[in-house]
Amino acid sequence: MEDLFTDKFLRKLQSLAQEKSHEYQTNAPFPNIYLDEFLPVNVVEAALREFPERTRVRWTEFDDHNQVKLAFDTTEKLPPPIRDILYFLNSRPMMEFLEVLTGISGVIPDPYFYGGGLHQIVPGGYLEVHADFNRHEKLRLDRRLNLLLYLNQDWKEDYGGHLELWNREMTGSVRKILPIFNRCAIFSTTDTSFHGHPEPLACPPGRTRKSIATYYYSNGRPESEVSDGHTTLFQHRPGVAKHPVNVAKHPVNVKTVIRAITPPILLDAARRLRRTKIG
């Protein structure tokens, strides 16, 4: 944890925010940027070494036409090297960095890491293009920013797993960001900040696409961005069929059917209830 709060590193963050703010705020298709070698390398290497395997913690599994991925947000059950990064990403120096970089004042972290924490995608997995939920129900705040820190060493272009940023008309991907080790992607979230990892992951067996995710909020947002509260808004990519469910790997059962016919808002409520019981 000490390496994340040295004067040298914090000065680096301050300078980076000032140097990159114009680029962030003017990048297409919506404000975004990626920053390489973002955290001290020894800190990220330690987090990767302690990244939990599928059997070590109870991952939440998403498996349907829109996504095949794993998530875990119970931070107190994570190893210290990962927990330290998550707590740093919610610290005052990070809020100041994000405010200067993005031009958004009054950035607020999420102590619950709702929807964030650790993400992991296995070969063949994906996350369809979408806009994120726009309100934090518990905190009653507006979601404004996503930060994704990638933990994938020696990641090759042909493994895929790119974070794709799409235009608001959903006619094409404007930017693709390869999820390489210690690369940090940050972008603003609105009802039309469409993004995802829609192409099935092509890394070798035994490897996964690993990331740490934190989301940030504010009390209110610009009038032009205000809308009714909603959950994830998955989008249809033109000319692309829905991902099929692998019946051989995931036999159809009662749980599969229930997930397919239950509205997303009710699924979200059920997952929150389950996490509360586990905790």
**Encoding tokens for residue 174?**
């404007």
* Residue 162, pLDDT score: 98
For the segment 148-157, the average pLDDT, to the nearest whole number, is 98
Q: State the Cα–Cα distance between residues 98 and 16, nearest whole angstrom.
A: 10
Q: Decide if 259 is inside a domain.
A: no
Q: Considering the entire predicted model, what is its pTM?
A: 0.88
Q: What is the count of structural domains for the chain?
A: 1
Range of 107's domain?
Answer: 2-247
Amino acid residing at 215: Y
Q: Decide if 170 is inside a domain.
A: yes
Q: Report the CATH number that the domain containing residue 41 is assigned in CATH.
A: 2.60.120.620
Q: What is the pLDDT of residues 65-105, one digit of tens each?
A: 999 999 999 999 999 999 999 999 999 999 999 999 999 99
Q: What is the pLDDT of residues 193-240, one digit of tens each?
A: 999 999 999 999 999 999 999 999 999 999 999 999 999 999 999 999
Q: Decide if 274 is inside a domain.
A: no
Model confidence at 250: pLDDT above 60: no
Q: Decide if 57 is inside a domain.
A: yes
**Encoding tokens for residue 243?**
């991902």
pLDDT band at 125 (very low <50, low <70, confident <90, very high): very high
Model confidence at 133: pLDDT above 70: yes
Q: State the Cα–Cα distance between residues 233 and 191, nearest whole angstrom.
A: 8
Q: Decide if 267 is inside a domain.
A: no
Q: Decide if 106 is inside a domain.
A: yes
